[in-house]
Amino acid sequence: MSIPARAAITAVHGYVPPDLLTNAELARMVDTSDAWITERTGIKERHILKGTGLGTSHMAAEAVRGLLEKTGTAPRDVDLLICATTTPDMQFPSTANLICDMVGVRNVGSFDVQAACSGFLYSLTIAAQFIANGAARKVVVVGADKMSSIVDYTDRATCVLFGDGAGAVMLEPDDRGYGIIDALIRSDGSGMIHLHQKAGGSRLPASAETVAARLHYVHQEGAAVYKFAIAKMAEVSAEIMARNNLRADMIDWLVPHQANKRIIESTAERMGLPMDRVMVTIHKYGNTTNATIPLCLWDYEPRLRRGDRVVFAAFGGGFTWAGLYAQWSYDGSAASRSNGKGNGKDA
Ligand code: ACO
């Protein structure tokens, strides 16, 4: 009996802009301290995209270009490109559209997915359907956000949390049984009040008044979001484990969304996983929203082995949350060597 083709991640790449914003610099901007940020969030520094006219697409295109180069993929061979982002370059056209133009991918479907911090897992889930039904053979999924464009750097409760970055993966059919085995996407729109951007959409378009009232920034009620995030990350991980008969000792890696180190540790503890099997990059990138999960894969790629059982979990604004289970399809150390330079990162 032949195994139906599964969508497998066959390559990853990432990009973070060169400029760093450290806790020490933030402590000069608002009433905070390195000790508070480190203890409450685990973040030490984050990368910030600077430069007039550079949006999310700039970082996403860098990540996608690297991905195509690394895999020797010609732009004409890409069948579909999906961009998960909460900070699109423009209301329209989609950022995915702009990225395609920047990297030379023409005449294929491209669209954005908006599910806040769960957007990358939502996008993988969508992309996997195109592969499984035979409609596409090479799908690029990129998660990218320029959070610095919607963060209020006078609000100490949010400005310490976020950073900018992008991460991209290639999805291709795998008939050996590796790839995405199960995925769950969930939402609860009543959570909007706790985490949203008040102005700039059709409900409250931009005006001199909305700008003066500082309504174009992330509004987050941290404690309420924290409570939901802890509960839903654990719930979705438990559901993925139960549906796939996974015990903690069978899981090689947890790849959690990076919003807060305490949320990550709590999810791992509820799953019964030691922290050495959990991907953590929050200390150096902060919360890059849709980029956190692919940036984790990029950083940890040299340590991933074919057959590794990998559980993903995310929680974000909306509220949205998602879980995914995959068996890793390739030897990551060989892939980062074949890149010619390794990824030079200290996961
Ligand atoms: N420095 C110093 N003190 C601060 C800072 C800061 N940067 N920020 C807040 N505080 C203060 C508060 O003012 C408060 O003081 P008070 O007691 O005098 O009022 C105190 O610290 C405690 O505030 P809390 O909000 O209760 O702090 P908490 O320990 O909950 O940490 C945090 C805040 C880090 C934001 C946490 O709530 C959190 O991680 N929330 C979840 C974030 C998340 O998961 N978001 C979802 C994904 S993001 C997305 O989808 C876009």
Q: Identify the domain containing residue 299 by its residue range.
A: 1-347
**Ligand 1 centre from 223 Cα, in Å?**
6
Q: What is d(CA 88, CA 85) in angstroms, rounded to the nearest whole number?
A: 6
Q: From first to last of its 347 residues, what are the pLDDT tens digits of the chain?
A: 445 679 999 999 999 999 999 999 999 999 999 999 999 999 999 999 999 999 999 999 999 999 999 999 999 999 999 999 999 999 999 999 999 999 999 999 999 999 999 999 999 999 999 999 999 999 999 999 999 999 999 999 999 999 999 999 999 999 999 999 999 999 999 999 999 999 999 999 999 999 999 999 999 999 999 999 999 999 999 999 999 999 999 999 999 999 999 999 999 999 999 999 999 999 999 999 999 999 999 999 999 999 999 999 999 999 999 999 999 999 998 886 555 444 445 45
**Ligand 1 centre from 186 Cα, in Å?**
24
- Alpha-carbon torsion, ordered 329, 127, 314, 275, to 10 deg: 10
**Catalytic (active-site) positions:** 117, 257, 287
Q: What is the CATH number of the domain that holds 120?
A: 3.40.47.10
Q: Does ligand 1 have an atom closer than 6 angstroms to the CB of 151? A: no
**pTM for the whole structure:** 0.95
Minimal CA–CA distance to 210: which of 219, 199, 202? Answer: 199
Q: What local confidence, expressed as pLDDT, does residue 340 receive?
A: 40
Helix boundaries (H) for the chain = 23-29, 34-41, 56-71, 95-103, 119-132, 156-159, 208-212, 222-243, 261-271, 282-285, 292-300, 332-338
**Ligand 1 centre from 157 Cα, in Å?**
5
* Closest C-alpha to ligand 1, atom 28: 223
Q: Does ligand 1 have an atom closer than 6 angstroms to the CB of 316? A: yes
Minimal CA–CA distance to 37: which of 49, 50, 21, 16? Answer: 21
Minimal CA–CA distance to 130: which of 6, 290, 295? Answer: 6
Minimal CA–CA distance to 257: which of 231, 284, 282? Answer: 282
- Other Cβ atoms closer than 10 A to 249: 8
Minimum-distance ligand 1 atom for the alpha carbon of 317: 50
Q: What is d(CA 148, CA 163) in angstroms, rounded to the nearest whole number?
A: 6
Q: What is d(CA 102, CA 56) in angstroms, rounded to the nearest whole number?
A: 12
Nearby residues of 278 by Cβ (< 8 Å), 6 or more positions away: 253, 254, 256, 264, 268
Number of domains in the chain: 1
Nearby residues of 346 by Cβ (< 8 Å), 6 or more positions away: none
Q: What local confidence, expressed as pLDDT, does residue 343 receive?
A: 44
β-pair type (6-15, 164-174):
antiparallel
- Other Cβ atoms closer than 10 A to 106: 10
